[in-house]
Amino acid sequence: MEAVLPIEYKIPSLKLEIELLPTTSAKEELFWYLVRLDETHCDAKLASESQIKRVKLQHDQNEKPHSYAEGDLVLVYDYDQEHDNLGTSKFEPMWHDPYIVKHAIEEGAYELVDYDKIPLEKPRNGLYLKRYYT
């Protein structure tokens, strides 16, 4: 049996009327179903968000931080392809030109230069870099 608040004995809610009165109409039952549906959606959303957090925590535990020293050769991931409206061909490379790490900035960011010592316009996060082996 479902728990009922004491106040609901004094002031019957629609739920109690539907459950206790045999003469409830189909519209009232449908209305109560829709009210409970919102609660069910909220519960499902909370469960989904907690599952996403658990999966992220598990993934982050296995993730190894990237660290590069000055002078290392790295490839740069082209994350602008994801936002390209026209889409890119599957034959387009995702990792571009080997760059040289000029120096590390705090929080895992790196300033990069190409072979001609021309720096990139902005620092790159270490997550978007991959060591280049020759």
Domain boundaries, the chain: 7-62, 73-131
- b/e 30-56 (16+ beta carbons within 10 angstroms → b): eebeeeeeeeeeeeeeeeeeeeeeeee
Q: pLDDT band for position 95 (50/70/90)? A: confident
CATH of 73-131, one of 2.30.30, 1.10.860, 3.30.70, 2.60.120: 2.30.30
Q: pTM to 2 decimals?
A: 0.49
Angstrom CA distances, 55 to 21, 71, 91, 98, stand at 46, 35, 31, 33
| Model pLDDT for residues 14-40, shown as the tens digit of each residue | 565 556 666 667 777 777 777 778 888
Per-residue pLDDT averaged across 89-102, rounded? 84
**Mean pLDDT rounded to a whole number for the chain:** 80
pLDDT(66) > 80 = no
| Model pLDDT for residues 79-94, shown as the tens digit of each residue | 665 555 555 667 777 8
